[in-house]
Structures are given as structure tokens and as C-alpha cells.
Amino acid sequence: QVQLVESGGGLVKPGGSLRLSCAASGFFFSDYYMTWIRQAPGKGLEWLSYISNSGSSMHYADSVKGRFTISRDNAKNSLYLQMDSLTAEDTALYYCVRDITAPGSTYYFDLWGRGTVVTVSS
Amino acid sequence: QSVLTQPPSVSAAPGQKVTISCSGSTSNIGKKYVSWYQQLPGTAPKLLIYDNNKRPSGIPDRFSGSKSGTSATLDITGLQTGDEAHYYCGTWDDSLGAPRVFGGGTKLTVL
């Protein structure tokens, strides 16, 4: 079954850290770029970061640059998001997403996980 | 404030047609493909349209997309109550710190 399953969310205090994981199955994980997208309560979608299929290239939104780190382990079919220096503004549902990227050509997100909730509060 | 501009809400009766717009600029929609996503209540977004006007397998042809200049449009015909959802447009932007960008989303109400 083709799916993405996130884990690792929870309640964390401001200034704290959290590491999200995403387990991929049913497709050749190492063939695809992967992305993290979040959605604050009652708000729209915010792209956070992508990583190339090999893991050699990453890019971050300004809102998380320097605080979040994306990584992947193709041997384990897993994607990660290390989140440091968390603030209340990082409270959201975090989605792991398969990213169809052909640089200079097409870009879209064709497979989404159900998300994992991160709450930053004292 | 989103890079791409969508109307906050649209509404129409069952069986009717609705159009959702997505306005951008020359650094995003003007030179990049647009995709559309449907988010039903309490669920993750789902890809509806990619490359401006292509439908993934399983998406009915009641959903169609188009692009002209720096704007894109999602049309939904034969509206059904099950189409009530938030719809988001997305693309790539060359000029910003977040290369992937979304519209703010449009809430579709089927009256």
C-alpha cells in the first residue's frame, strides 16, 4: 500500500526541540523528493522544506531556516524533520508529502500523510 | 499573507458550476506549472490538478484547471455536496525564500 505515516508529534515547551519521522511504504522512496508542509489550526498550507531524492539538496522556508533540519534515510524509507528553538507559532499539523519535482519543469505534491500534531506551549 | 491570492470563499448550488481563481505574478504562476489540492474536512489535502490542467488517476473530469498569464483557475462542474472542502492552489516561486508556495485557500460551500 502506497502511504506515508508521520510520527513524533506532541507537546513541547517554547524553546524546545522535537524530531518528526515519516515512514514511507509501497513505492521506491529513493526515487522521490520529499517535503514537509504544515497547517496551523484553522489556517492554510505552509511549505517548510524539501529534500532531494539522494539527500544532497535541501531547501527551507525563511520561517524555519536555521531552526529546522530535514533529512532522510533511503535505506529505511524514512524522512525526518528536526525542529529546534520551537515557538508557539510552530504549533500546527505537520504533513509528510511526496514531492514530484523535475527542476525547470514540473512541481507538485502527489501523496500526503495524515499528519502529526505539534503543540508548542508552556 | 499568501504569495498566491485566492478568494476566501465561494458557493453554488448542487449541479451548478463554480470557478476558483488563483492570482500570482511573473515569478510564480507566470512561468511555472500550477497544481490544485482539495482538503475535505478533517482530512489531509489531496492532489486534484497538476501541470495546470492534468488530472491524476481517479479524479473525475468534473474538475478542470487552466492557466492564463499570472492567474490560474479551477473549475468544478456538476457540484455535489461531497465537494464541500477547502481548495488550494500551489506553484513554485523563483524570487522568494520559500520556493514552493500556496494560495490562502478557498472554502467551497455547496448550498
pLDDT digits (tens, 9 = 90+) for A10-40: 999 999 999 999 999 999 999 999 999 999 9
* pLDDT tens digits, B49-80: 999 999 999 999 999 999 999 999 999 999 99
Q: What is the pLDDT of residue B62?
A: 97
Mutate to test the interface with A, among B67, B88, B95, B100 (most CBs of A within 10 A): B100
Across the interface, which of B35, B44, B100 has its CB nearest the CB of A50? Answer: B100
Angle at A52 between CA A51 and CA A53, to 5 degrees: 120
Decide if B104 and A44 are in contact by the 8 Å CB cutoff. Answer: yes
Place of cell 490562502: B104
Q: How far is A52 from chain B (nearest CA, A)?
A: 14
Across the interface, which of B43, B47, B96 has its CB nearest the CB of A109? Answer: B47
Q: Which residues, 6 or more positions from B33, have their beta carbon under 8 angstroms from its beta carbon?
A: A105, A106, A107, A108, B50, B51, B52, B91, B92
Decide if A109 and B32 are in contact by the 8 Å CB cutoff. Answer: no
DSSP letter (8 states) at residue B84: -
The share of chain A scoring above pLDDT 90, in percent, equals 93
Decide if B98 and A45 are in contact by the 8 Å CB cutoff. Answer: no
Place of cell 478533517: B42
Number of CB pairs, chain A paired with chain B, less than 8 A apart? 67
